[in-house]
Structure 1
Amino acid sequence: MAGMTSASHNSLRRLLSFLGLGKRAGESDLLEPAELARWYASLAPEERAAVSRELAPRVRPRPTRDPATLPAVATGRLVFEQDGPQGPIPLHHLKVELWDRDPGAPDDFLGEGFTDADGYFSIRYDPADAGAGDLPDLELCFFEPQHTFRKDGRVVESWRRIGSERGPDDHGGLHYDFGTLRLPYWEYDPTTPLARLLINEEGTPPTAYAPGRALAMLKAVNPIELIKRQHLLQIRLGRVPSLEKLQADYPESMTVRMERQAPGSSRGDAFFGERLLNGMFATILDRDPEVPGDPCSFRLYYPWNAYEQDGVHCLPDVDVRLRLEEGRVLPVRIILGLREPGATAPGSPITRRSFTPADGADWEAAKRIARVSVTLDSELGNHLAQCHFNVEQYAIAAHRNLRINPLRWLLLPHLREVVLINQSANGFLVGPSGYVTRASALTEKGIEARLLHLMGSYDWRGFVPAMPVCEGHRYAHAAQLFWKLLGEHVDAFFSEHGDEVVAQWGEVRRFSDDLVAHSAPAFVCRYLRARVVGNDAPWFVRSERMTLDEKAAQPPPRAVSAVTETDSPQPGEVESLKQLCRYVIYFATFRHAWANNLQWDDAGEVQYACLGLRWGKNGSLPAVDDPDTAPPPDEATEMLWISWMLSKTSYGLLLANEEEDVHPRLVERLRAHASEFSALGLDIRTVSSRINI
C-alpha cells in the first residue's frame, strides 16, 4: 500500500474491518453495507486493487467456466429511442450485464456481454447461480465506458451504469429474449434545425457536471449575487439606482479602472482597434476589398439588417474600415446602415451614413454603436455559436458512437458538460425571455436565424487559425502557438493508438455520419456568393472559413464535412480525422477561454459595451453621453452579473486536470510553454479542458 495517503489508508482499514479482515483488537464493525459500497467506490484504482489482493485468499472463487458450456441464454437488441431514416438505430458496443434480481438480498451476477454492431447481444448463464432453490428474476444493466489517465499516460478503464431493464420473475426456461429495447440515450432534439441534445423538461440529462464545478460556481457568484438582488429590489420599490451608482457597486472592471486612471483612454481609437485584435471581440480581419493590394487596410462587416429586430433598439449594419499604422490597428471610417426607428422586418429600407475621426462627437457615437455591434456578435458568434453550440454537435455524435474506439480517450474529456451548460443557455440567454433577446435589438426569431446562419458557416475541414496582422496581434500569435501544440499532441496520440483507431473505424464512420446528418445547412450569403465564390478574392481570409465554393452548391450541403463514408479508412481520411480532433479540442479549450474569460474586461462596464442601445430622442442616433439610450437599470445589473459570472467561474482547468481524463502529455506540453503564452497575455492556467460555463 505504498504511496497511499493516510486518509486513504484509514478508509481501506475501515473497509477491511467491516469484512472482518485486518481488524484490530477491540474494534467493531464500522460500516453498513451501503456505506461500504460508497467507501469502495471512492477508492482510487490502486486502492481497490489492494482490497482485492487482501480479499483474494479469503474468498472462495467461482470456478472459471467456458460461457459456451452454460445451459441458458438471454438475448435481445438495444436501439436508440428515436429512429433514423432507415428505421431503428442500433446502440453498438454497450456493455450489458445479466443479474438475478433479489429484493432484500444481494443480487446475483449471472453473466455479461456486449452489443454488436447491430445492437444485438447474447449472454449465456447458469440459472443455478441464482442460488439453491431459487429461480432467477432476470434483469439487464447497461454500462458505458469511462476512463482516466495515469501519470505515465496509461489508460484506466471503468464502467458507468446508465440504465436497466426488468425481465421476468422466477424464470425457469433456458432461453429468454428481451426483444428490442429502446434506450433514450443522447438523442437529438427534433424540434430545432441545430444539432442539440433532447432533454425533456422534467428529464435528467445522460451526463452530469463534475462535483467540484458547483463549488466553483458558488465561489464566483456569491460576491455579486446580493448586489444584483439589491438593485432589483430597489427598482421594484421605485428607488431606481443611477447607472453610475449601479456600476460602482460591482467590482471595478478594466475599462472603469482605465477611465479612473486616465479619462478617455478606453474610448480612444487606438484602444478600439486593440480590443478588436486582442479582446473578447478578437475575430478575423479581412483586407479592405475597396483598397485592393493594400496589406495595411482591413474591414469588419456586420449585416444586422438581415434579421428581425424589435424596433426599440438601434442595431444598424456596421461596416468598419481600419488601417495598420505604426504597429497599431486604427479605425478610419465607420459606415452605418440605419433603419427607421420602429422598423422590424428583415431587409428593411436603410440609410447609409459614413463617419470619420473628423466628425467629433458623431464619430464617438459611431464607435460606441460599432462596439455594441461587435459585443453582440461576439456573444452570439465567437462565444455561443462557434464554441458552445458548435462543440455540442461533436459532443452528441461522439457520445452516441465512440465506445471501443480509443478516439474517445482523446475527444471526450473536451466534450463533457457542454450539453449541460448549453441547456441552461436555452432559457437564460436566448429564447423568448433570454437575456440576449431582452437586451438586444434582435427578436427571438432574429436570434434563431442568426444562429442558424452562423452554424451553417462552421466546418472542421481546412481550418487553421488566421495569421497575425501585426506584432501586437497577441490573440493570433497565441492561437498559432496553441494550434501547433495541439497538432503535436494529436499526432502523438495517433502514433500510439492509430492502429486501434483504424481497427474500429466503423465507429468513426457512425460518428461522421451523425455529424453530417445533423449539422445545419451550409450558409453562404449573397455578398460572398457574388464577391468570393468562384473568384480569387485575395482580400478574403479563407483559413478559418469553410470552403465556400463547395458549400455554395444548390441545394445547400451540410455545413460539417464528412470524415469518411466507409467502414475502413480511405487514403487521407486518417489525416482528416486528426484535423477534426485538433479543431474540436481547439474550440473547446483555447477559443472558448479567450472569448469567455475576457468578458468582464470588455463587457464589464455598461456605458462602454453592452448588447443593445435604444434610439435617442426623436429617433436620433444613440449619443455617447445620453443615459436614456443605455440599457435600463434592471438589464444593466443583469449584464454585469452575467459578465462577472462567466469570466470568473472556472473548474475543469486543463493544467489542473481535476478528473485526470486528459492525457498528461497535453498538460505537460502546455505547461512547458506557459511563459510564451504569458508574454502574449494568456495565463494558460485559466484555460479549461471543456466548456462548462
Structure 2
Amino acid sequence: MNQSSSNPKVRFKYYGTPGKDFARFDVNSPLPEEVEPTPRYEAHLGLQIFPTLPLIPLFNWAFSGLAKKFGFRSMIGSSLQTWMPANLSRLRPDKFSDEYFVERRLNGFNPGKLKRVAEQEWQYAVRYNTGRYQVEPGGILPEYSEARFILRDRSLHVHSIEYSWKEQVINCFPTDGQYWEDAKYYFRSAEYVFQEIQSHLGRTHMNMDQYAMAFYRNVIKSPIRELLWPHFEGLISIDKKGASLIIGNSGFIPEASALDSNSVDGILAEEIAILNYHWSPARQALPDPIDNNYFDPAALAMWELLEKYVSEFFVNNQQEIQTYWHEIEDMSKDLVAHSIFQPKEKLAINDQKDLQQLCVYILYHCTFFHSWVNNKQYEDGGDIEYAAIGLWDEDDPNYDAKKVEKRHNAQVKLMWTLANVHYNPAIEFAPLPLKKLLWEYRDRIEPGIPLEWIMMSINI
C-alpha cells in the first residue's frame, strides 16, 4: 500500500469548500475499504427490500425466480400501495381523529417539535415555515402551518390550525368539518417535509457525517476509536448513496415533495448550521407532565444511560485517552475547520469533559434518535391517505395524475425500505455494558419505541 492510500486524510476526503459546504464525505471519491458495507449488511438489505422488487430490475436480485413465480410484476401503478404491508395508520380506525392527531405530534416520526407558548388560549404549538422556499407549479405547501394545543389534566387537545396559502391566512377549528380535515392534512404534509430534511437527513445523517469524517481522518490509536467505531458503521456509505437517492435533482425529496432541489439543500444546510454537540434532550423536553408523551421520557432515559456508559468507558481508559490526545486535537481541528456552525470554535474539543459530551451526543443520535425518526417513517408515511410528503392541486393546469401516483408510490416504497432495515440492533450487538444498561432502562424507553428497534448505527 502506498503512502497516500494509507493516509486516512487522503482516503477520507471532504466534499466542497470548508466552512461553506456542510462537512461530509466527498461523494465523488471512492469509498474507503474499511467503511464499505459488509456482506451481512448487503444480505440483510436484500431481504428487507424484497416487497419492492417489481420496481427494481429483477436481474439484480437473487430473488428474481420467486418474484416471477408469484407474479410480482403486476405490482405496478396504483396497485402498489394496496400490495404493500399495512402501516400503523392503516390499522387505526381512528386515524383521522383529533386524538390520533395529538398522539402523533407527541410520539410520531417527527418528535420534539412542540413548543410552550405564553399569553394565548393554547399552551403548546408546532409551527413549520416553508414560505421562503420554492414550490413547483401546482404544488400545495402552505407558506406556514401552525397547530395549537390546549393542556388540560395532563392531556393535550388540539385547539386550532392556522396556515397561510397564497398569502391568505386561514384559521381552522375542530368544528369546521372538511376544512378542518384539510388543514390537518396540509399540516401533516408540511411536517413530513421537515421530518425528512431536518430531523432525519439533517440532524442524524449529515450531522453525524461531520463527526465521522473528523473521526476517521484522525483517530487511530486512541481508545475513542473502539468506543465510536461500531456507531459509525454504514453511515458514510449510506450518506454517499443518499446524495443522489434522497437529495439532488433526482432525489426522493425533490421528486416526491413539492419543493425543488435547491430548497431542499437550503433547509438541510440551515438545520446543520444550528446543531452542535453541546446539547441534551432536556433542552427540548416538555415542561409539563403529559400522560401519553412517550418520546421525552424515552429520550431522557437513553441520554442518561449513555452518560453512564460513556463515563465508565472514560474512567477505564483515561490514561490511554490522554496518551493519544494529539489525535483528538487533530479531530477537533477538522471539526472546526469544516463546520458551518457559528461560532465554529464551539465545536472544538478542549478537554476530556468536552470529548465525553461529544461521545454521548454521537451515540444518542446514531442509536436512539435515528432509530426513532427512521424506523417510525412507515408508521406515518406508509399511508398516502394519512400523510403525503407532496400535495398537488387537481384544479391546477400543471396537475398530472399519473406523475402524482408515481410520486406517492415512491413514497410508500421508500418508507417501507428505510423503516424495515433493522441491521445491528443494539440489544444484540452492543458491548455488554451497554446491553445491560439498555435492559435496565427498558421500562423508561418503552412504550415510546421497542427496545429491539434501537440500532447501533445509521446504516439506512
Count residues with an aligned counterpart: 437
Superposition pairs of residues 273-284 of structure 1, within 5 angstroms: 273-284=102-113
Shift in CA distance, 639/474, structure 1 to aligned 2, threshold 3 Å: same
Shift in CA distance, 227/248, structure 1 to aligned 2, threshold 3 Å: farther
Number of the residue aligned with 2:362: 584
Shift in CA distance, 188/504, structure 1 to aligned 2, threshold 3 Å: same
Shift in CA distance, 331/560, structure 1 to aligned 2, threshold 3 Å: farther
State whether structure 2 residue 217 is matched by structure 1 residue 400.
Answer: yes
Superposition pairs of residues 669-680 of structure 1, within 5 angstroms: 669-678=437-446, 680=447
Q: Separation in 2 of the partners of 1:303 and 1:630?
A: 29
1:322/1:332 contact within 8 Å kept: yes
Q: Separation in 2 of the partners of 1:586 and 1:408?
A: 17
Q: Separation in 2 of the partners of 1:398 and 1:510?
A: 9
State whether structure 2 residue 326 is matched by structure 1 residue 506.
Answer: yes
Query: Which residue, out of 439, 454, 458, partners 1:687?
Result: 454
User: Partner amino acid for 2:434?
Assistant: L
Query: Which residue, out of 651, 662, 665, partners 2:423?
Result: 651
Number of the residue aligned with 1:471: 291
What are structure 2's unaligned runs of at least 5 residues? 59-72
Shift in CA distance, 228/504, structure 1 to aligned 2, threshold 3 Å: closer
The structural deviation recorded for 1:639 is: 1.0
2:77/2:409 contact within 8 Å kept: no
- Range with greater deviation from structure 2 (368-377 or 303-312): 303-312
Superposition pairs of residues 333-482 of structure 1, within 5 angstroms: 333-339=160-166, 350-465=167-282, 466-468=284-286, 469=288, 470-482=290-302
Q: Separation in 1 of the partners of 2:163 and 2:157?
A: 18
1:560-590 superposed Cα distances (whole Å, 9 cap, x missing partner): 52222xxxxxxxx322221111001000000
State whether structure 2 residue 150 is matched by structure 1 residue 323.
Answer: yes
The structural deviation recorded for 1:618 is: 5.6
The structural deviation recorded for 1:372 is: 0.7
Q: Separation in 1 of the partners of 2:259 and 2:224?
A: 40
State whether structure 2 residue 431 is matched by structure 1 residue 663.
Answer: yes
1:298/1:323 contact within 8 Å kept: yes
Which secondary structure state, in structure 1, belongs to the residue aligned with residue 386 of structure 2?
coil
Superposition pairs of residues 219-298 of structure 1, within 5 angstroms: 219-226=47-54, 241-242=77-78, 245-258=79-92, 262=93, 265-291=94-120, 297-298=123-124
CA RMSD of superposed structures (Å) = 2.6
User: Partner amino acid for 1:459?
Assistant: N
Superposition pairs of residues 122-271 of structure 1, within 5 angstroms: 163=5, 184-190=10-16, 193-200=21-28, 203-206=30-33, 207-226=35-54, 241-242=77-78, 245-258=79-92, 262=93, 265-271=94-100
State whether structure 2 residue 410 is matched by structure 1 residue 638.
Answer: yes
The structural deviation recorded for 1:210 is: 2.3
1:273/1:328 contact within 8 Å kept: no
The structural deviation recorded for 1:504 is: 2.0
State whether structure 2 residue 303 is matched by structure 1 residue 483.
Answer: yes
What are structure 1's unaligned runs of at least 5 residues? 1-139, 143-161, 165-180, 231-236, 340-349, 523-556, 565-572, 620-626
Shift in CA distance, 687/472, structure 1 to aligned 2, threshold 3 Å: same
Q: Separation in 2 of the partners of 1:504 and 1:692?
A: 29
- Range with greater deviation from structure 2 (422-431 or 318-327): 318-327
Q: Separation in 2 of the partners of 1:182 and 1:393?
A: 15
Which secondary structure state, in structure 2, belongs to the residue aligned with residue 266 of structure 1?
coil
2:112/2:295 contact within 8 Å kept: no
Q: Separation in 1 of the partners of 2:14 and 2:57?
A: 37
User: Partner amino acid for 2:243?
Assistant: N
The structural deviation recorded for 1:676 is: 4.1
Q: Separation in 2 of the partners of 1:182 and 1:584?
A: 21
Q: Separation in 1 of the partners of 2:55 and 2:428?
A: 31
Query: Which residue, out of 495, 517, 522, partners 2:315?
Result: 495
2:12/2:216 contact within 8 Å kept: yes
Shift in CA distance, 312/631, structure 1 to aligned 2, threshold 3 Å: same
Number of the residue aligned with 2:63: none
1:98-147 superposed Cα distances (whole Å, 9 cap, x missing partner): xxxxxxxxxxxxxxxxxxxxxxxxxxxxxxxxxxxxxxxxxx666xxxxx
User: Partner amino acid for 1:283?
Assistant: G
Q: Separation in 1 of the partners of 2:28 and 2:234?
A: 17
The structural deviation recorded for 1:391 is: 0.6
Q: Separation in 1 of the partners of 2:118 and 2:197?
A: 26
Q: Separation in 1 of the partners of 2:57 and 2:155?
A: 42
Q: Separation in 2 of the partners of 1:240 and 1:517?
A: 48
Which secondary structure state, in structure 1, belongs to the residue aligned with residue 124 of structure 2?
strand
Shift in CA distance, 488/452, structure 1 to aligned 2, threshold 3 Å: same
The structural deviation recorded for 1:363 is: 0.9
The structural deviation recorded for 1:198 is: 1.3
Q: Separation in 1 of the partners of 2:194 and 2:152?
A: 26
The structural deviation recorded for 1:362 is: 0.6
Q: Separation in 1 of the partners of 2:436 and 2:341?
A: 39
Query: Which residue, out of 503, 509, 519, partners 2:339?
Result: 519
Q: Separation in 2 of the partners of 1:519 and 1:380?
A: 19
Q: Separation in 1 of the partners of 2:119 and 2:237?
A: 44
Q: Separation in 1 of the partners of 2:9 and 2:336?
A: 23
Q: Separation in 1 of the partners of 2:77 and 2:210?
A: 42
Q: Separation in 2 of the partners of 1:319 and 1:182?
A: 46
State whether structure 2 residue 344 is matched by structure 1 residue 558.
Answer: yes
Q: Separation in 2 of the partners of 1:666 and 1:226?
A: 40
1:200-258 superposed Cα distances (whole Å, 9 cap, x missing partner): 26x3435211221111111111133227889xxxxxx9x9854xx44222111211121
1:628-687 superposed Cα distances (whole Å, 9 cap, x missing partner): 889722111111110110111121221221xxxx53211222133334433x24221221
1:455/1:559 contact within 8 Å kept: no
Q: Is the radius of gyration larger for structure 1 or structure 2?
A: 1
Number of the residue aligned with 2:62: none
Q: Separation in 1 of the partners of 2:363 and 2:223?
A: 16
User: Partner amino acid for 2:452?
Assistant: R
State whether structure 2 residue 384 is matched by structure 1 residue 606.
Answer: yes
Shift in CA distance, 337/559, structure 1 to aligned 2, threshold 3 Å: farther
Shift in CA distance, 270/655, structure 1 to aligned 2, threshold 3 Å: same
User: Partner amino acid for 2:340?
Assistant: A
2:204/2:366 contact within 8 Å kept: yes
1:520/1:559 contact within 8 Å kept: no
Number of the residue aligned with 1:67: none
Shift in CA distance, 241/452, structure 1 to aligned 2, threshold 3 Å: closer
The structural deviation recorded for 1:395 is: 0.3
Q: Separation in 1 of the partners of 2:76 and 2:324?
A: 63
State whether structure 2 residue 135 is matched by structure 1 residue 309.
Answer: yes
Which secondary structure state, in structure 2, belongs to the residue aligned with residue 498 of structure 1?
helix
